[in-house]
Amino acid sequence: MVLRFEGAETDGDMLDHWTYKDQNWNESYVLCDKNSQSPINIDTGKTIFNKNLPPITLEGYNLPETEQLALSNNGHTVVLSLPDSMTISHGFTQKYLASQLHFHWGSETTPGSEHQVDDIQYAAEMHIVHFAAKYGSLNDAAQKTDGLAVLGVLFQVGEENKHYDHIFDKLEDIAEKGN
């Protein structure tokens, strides 16, 4: 199954249709410049392991299978709303509350991950978006340099992972914008 989100309309200050090739985010968002510009390529040959960094701790991620979450098509991607009981509680100087997760994907001929590792673009990428609890909302936190913590998960084609079936099985139900 291939889902298409063409001619997407978006909310807020974003353009009706955009790509990373034609954007200078720093013109409208001063925090999105230089080392804060997305997407990035992680060059593992240049990375330095820092054993002093504490591991992050995820809490509340084991939701019961009966938990009902909203999955929607915003015309650009699929968004799953998450309860703020899902948190990143250690590893940062503050607590981050989950808000949503969304996907970036391509097609059979074009990989779709936003970011790359060693110049390899993956089939898809999932972002789990968290906001700093002290700001009270995703919108308010998004305006702050320490406001968001986004976990990125890269997907490659291979063995099926049953843990995502509860999301992927519903994609046909939301193939149209607004569903």
Q: What is the largest CA-CA distance in the chain?
A: 47
CA distances from 165 to 42, 79, 160, 162 (A): 29, 15, 9, 5
Q: Which CATH number describes the domain made up of 25-174?
A: 3.10.200.10
- Report, as residue numbers or ranges, the catalytic residues: 76
- Letter string b/e over residues 86-97, b meaning 16 or more CB atoms within 10 A of that residue's CB: bbbeeeeeeebb
What's the pTM?
0.81
Residue 176 has pLDDT above 50, yes or no: yes
Burial group, residue 143, by CB count within 10 angstroms (0-12, 13-18, 19+): exposed
- Give residue 76's pLDDT: 86
What are the extents of the domains in the chain?
25-174
Residue 104 has pLDDT above 70, yes or no: yes
Q: How far apart, in whole angstroms, are the C-alpha atoms of residue 156 and residue 154?
A: 7
> Higher pLDDT residue, 9 or 164?
164
Q: Using an 8 Å Cβ cutoff, are 30 and 24 in contact?
A: no
Q: How far apart, in whole angstroms, are the C-alpha atoms of residue 58 and residue 158?
A: 26
What is the average per-residue pLDDT within 2-22?
42
